[in-house]
Amino acid sequence: MRSLAFGVDMTYCVAISLSDGLVLTSDSRTNAGIDQVSTYSKMFRYETMPDRSIVIMSAGNLATTQCVIEQVQRDIREGHDENINSFKYMSDIADYLGDVLSSRIRRYSEKEQSGFSPEASLLFAGQIQGQRSQAFMIYPQGNHITTSDHTPYLQIGECKYGKPVLDRFLTRQTSLIDAATCALISMDSTMKSNAGVGPPIEVLMYKNDSYSLSNLHQFEAENPYLLEIRNQWGIKLNEAFDAMPRIPN
């Protein structure tokens, strides 16, 4: 059994990159064994400079991701030559985060804890003035990818259950509010199929060139809107299924 210090983060996070901005969604559940379930926010917001807004979301080993976030915050506080405020381009910040993540994973891997996997991944999104908003997925090895016109979203954690609804409805031209609704349905589908993912759910909508991360919504398990989304989606799916043509006899 892994200890809480090495908790397994069975989270689900999605970053959606749109013509109008970004929609970022994460859950807050962490498992460190069948009888140890805790909640930790997986979304970290940075508005430390007037020319940029940065968000990091994490999935994977809790010890690893907490140390990565602490390193990022320490580099800002101490004015390190390389920190998220010192780079001119989003891709350079993604490289920096990849270096921090991969070095932490290597350090833990060298200890070779029995039954311990230090791997983690990050979603990084935001905007630097004069550039378009972007989202990146950073792998445990430190490399990264970004979104495309054909796939305007990125996922980490328990991805498979929430992917179909994103594929069916999202395009670059989807509005922020519609994409946020789609992300919540994707999250609900994931929670329905995997008990390791759960509330509180955080949804952030970022409008291009606003440099504000204030449009954040947090939904507890019994939030009326979250319950209504779940209820209505279930009703509509049942109605669609009932309307499907049956296999001919």
Q: Which pTM does this prediction carry?
A: 0.91
- The bridge status of strand 12-17 relative to strand 216-219 is unpaired
Look at residue 29 in the predicted model and tell me its pLDDT: 78
Q: For the segment 7-16, what is each residue's pLDDT rounded down to a tens digit? A: 555 789 999 9
Q: For the segment 168-177, what is each residue's pLDDT rounded down to a tens digit? A: 999 999 999 9
Q: Apex CA 46: angle with CA 72 and CA 196, to 5°? A: 75
Q: Which stretch of DSSP H or E encloses residue 144?
A: strand 144-146
How many CB atoms neighbour CB 109 within 10 A?
14
Look at residue 195 in the predicted model and tell me its pLDDT: 82
Q: Tell me which residue has tokens 């929609």.
A: 23
The arrangement of secondary structure in 4-243, i.e. its CATH architecture, is 4-Layer Sandwich (3.60)
Domain spans, the chain? 4-243
3-state secondary structure of 178: helix
Q: What is the mean pLDDT of residues 143-169?
A: 95
Question: Does residue 109 or residue 80 have the better pLDDT?
Answer: 80
Is the confidence at residue 32, as pLDDT, over 90? Answer: no
Look at residue 40 in the predicted model and tell me its pLDDT: 85
Look at residue 96 in the predicted model and tell me its pLDDT: 98
**Are 154 and 144 in contact, with CB atoms under 8 Å apart?**
no
Q: What is the mean pLDDT of residues 103-126?
A: 83
Q: For the segment 194-235, what is each residue's pLDDT rounded down to a tens digit? A: 888 989 999 999 999 999 999 999 999 999 999 999 999 999
Question: DSSP states of 4-33 as a string?
Answer: GGG-EE--EEEEEE-SSEEEEEE--EEESS
Rounded CA-CA distance 123/154 in Å is 8
Is the confidence at residue 65, as pLDDT, over 90? Answer: yes
Report which residue type is found at 10: M
Is the confidence at residue 182, as pLDDT, over 60? Answer: yes
Q: How would residue 115 be classed by pLDDT, with cut points 50, 70 and 90?
A: low
Q: How would residue 2 be classed by pLDDT, with cut points 50, 70 and 90?
A: very low
